[in-house]
Structure 1
């Protein structure tokens, strides 16, 4: 049987904590849904085509992940 990765274990730990703590669950849901809300905002309120909004949000997520990784490595 394969061992789960560290990221998977952390994700499972966060899910377990969110089940027991409403504040953590609310924050986790907000963070998880934020990309969808941003895409919707760009499309509905700013007139962006869907593919442009999705691409912009994806690039933003990649940038944030790179910054987090760089800070963790420092």
Structure 2
């Protein structure tokens, strides 16, 4: 069997925890659907082309990850 990465193990652990705890499940679902909901909002409500909405959301995610990583390192 192939070795799972740390990221994959954490993801599986979160999925297992979400099965037992509704609050964790709700938060996980909100995070999971967040980028898709934002892309849909930009396209449907603001008329952005799909490629621009996807690119903008991806850049926001990258910035949030950098900010989070920077805070954790501080």
CA RMSD of aligned residues (A): 1.2
User: Secondary structure of 2:45's match?
Assistant: helix
Distance 1:45 1:62, change over 3 A: same
TM-score for the superposition, normalised by structure 1: 0.89
Give ranges in structure 2 of 5+ residues lacking alignment. Answer: none
Q: Write the deviation string for residues 8-56 of structure 1: whole angstroms up to 9, x where unpaired.
A: 2221211110010111111101110010000000001001111100000
> Any unmatched runs of 5+ in structure 1?
none
CA distance in 2, matches of 1:2, 1:69: 28
- Number of paired residues? 74
